[in-house]
């Protein structure tokens, strides 16, 4: 199994060391994030007491894709401290998401670029190059993970969007669903408030902010794919149709969470 970006040689020569380091990194960041939100912010999740790993536990042998909006450069990894149970990040590393991250932000620039890249990769972030389309190594890597029933998260807007409305969903989600060996379950979720915790072009986080997270209903993609086959859609038409369905579901959830978060 290829590991993206920096620690390729380390993984190939010492895979156990890499996996142990990744487990430690994921658990440390997730548990610290959980404590950070609990102590310094007001966080509400709808439905309450629901965690993303509830879906994984009920579908242990199914590929799962989570999709969401993207309001801050620290959405990932911080929000996973809320969305995952502590027991999951400690005991079930394989059920913690992989996520494509922008190569120019995660793996380039700065004095400590190698350390930054290593940290991102140990945190299960693959290197995604903007503008290279849906057929690039990070997408192939994401499909490999899904085929091994490892969850993948996608920020479907493709960039940070601090507005209340979603922007067009990128077609990458359509390719993941279409090319997965087994039709995956797609779980949409939407969040509000992270744009105030760390706005764009700021480096110091703010405190005492309201964070709202809404988790939608799972989408069974097998029915969507069967519909496309029945209608004799081309590969491109299938990808667009699936992407449009995901965008519609996410937009509906977004409007509902906007009503909750901004009601005051």
Confidence bin at 119 (pLDDT 50/70/90): confident
Between the alpha carbon of residue 151 and those of residues 4, 96, 111, 241, the distances in Å are 16, 7, 32, 22
Instruction: Dump pLDDT digits (tens) for 30-80.
Output: 999 999 999 999 999 998 767 787 887 777 789 999 999 999 999 999 999
Q: What is the pLDDT of residue 1?
A: 44
Between the alpha carbon of residue 3 and those of residues 65, 148, 149, 185, the distances in Å are 19, 14, 16, 24
Q: Above pLDDT 70, what percent of the chain?
A: 94
pTM of the model: 0.93
Confidence bin at 264 (pLDDT 50/70/90): low
Q: What is the pLDDT of residue 52?
A: 81
Containing 207, the helix (H) or strand (E) segment is none
Structure tokens at 53: 């790993």
Angle at 94 between CA 92 and CA 99, to 5 degrees: 125
């Amino acid at each position: 199994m290829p590991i993206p970006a920096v620690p390729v040689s380390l993984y190939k020569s010492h895979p156990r060391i890499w996996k142990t380091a990744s487990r430690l990194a994921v658990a440390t960041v997730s548990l610290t994030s959980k404590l950070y939100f609990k102590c310094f912010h007001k966080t509400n999740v709808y439905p309450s007491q629901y965690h993303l790993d509830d879906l994984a536990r009920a579908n242990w042998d199914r590929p799962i894709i989570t999709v969401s909006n993207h309001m801050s450069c620290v959405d990932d990894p911080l929000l996973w401290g809320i969305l995952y149970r502590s027991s999951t990040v400690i005991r079930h590393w394989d059920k913690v998401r992989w996520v494509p991250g922008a190569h120019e932000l995660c793996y380039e620039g700065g004095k400590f670029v190698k350390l930054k890249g290593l940290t991102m990769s140990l945190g299960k972030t693959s290197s995604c190059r903007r503008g290279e389309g849906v057929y690039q190594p990070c997408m192939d890597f994401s499909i490999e993970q899904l085929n091994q029933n490892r969850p993948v998260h996608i920020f479907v807007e493709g960039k940070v969007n601090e507005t209340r409305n979603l922007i067009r969903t990128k077609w990458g989600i359509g390719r993941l669903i279409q090319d997965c060996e087994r039709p995956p379950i797609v779980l949409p979720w939407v969040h509000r408030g992270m744009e105030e915790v760390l706005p764009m072009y700021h480096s110091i986080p703010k405190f005492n902010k309201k964070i709202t997270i809404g988790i939608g209903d799972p989408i069974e993609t097998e029915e969507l794919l069967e519909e496309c086959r029945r209608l004799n859609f081309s590969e491109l038409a299938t990808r667009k149709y699936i992407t449009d369905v995901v965008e519609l579901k996410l937009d509906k959830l977004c409007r509902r969470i906007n009503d909750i978060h901004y009601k005051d």
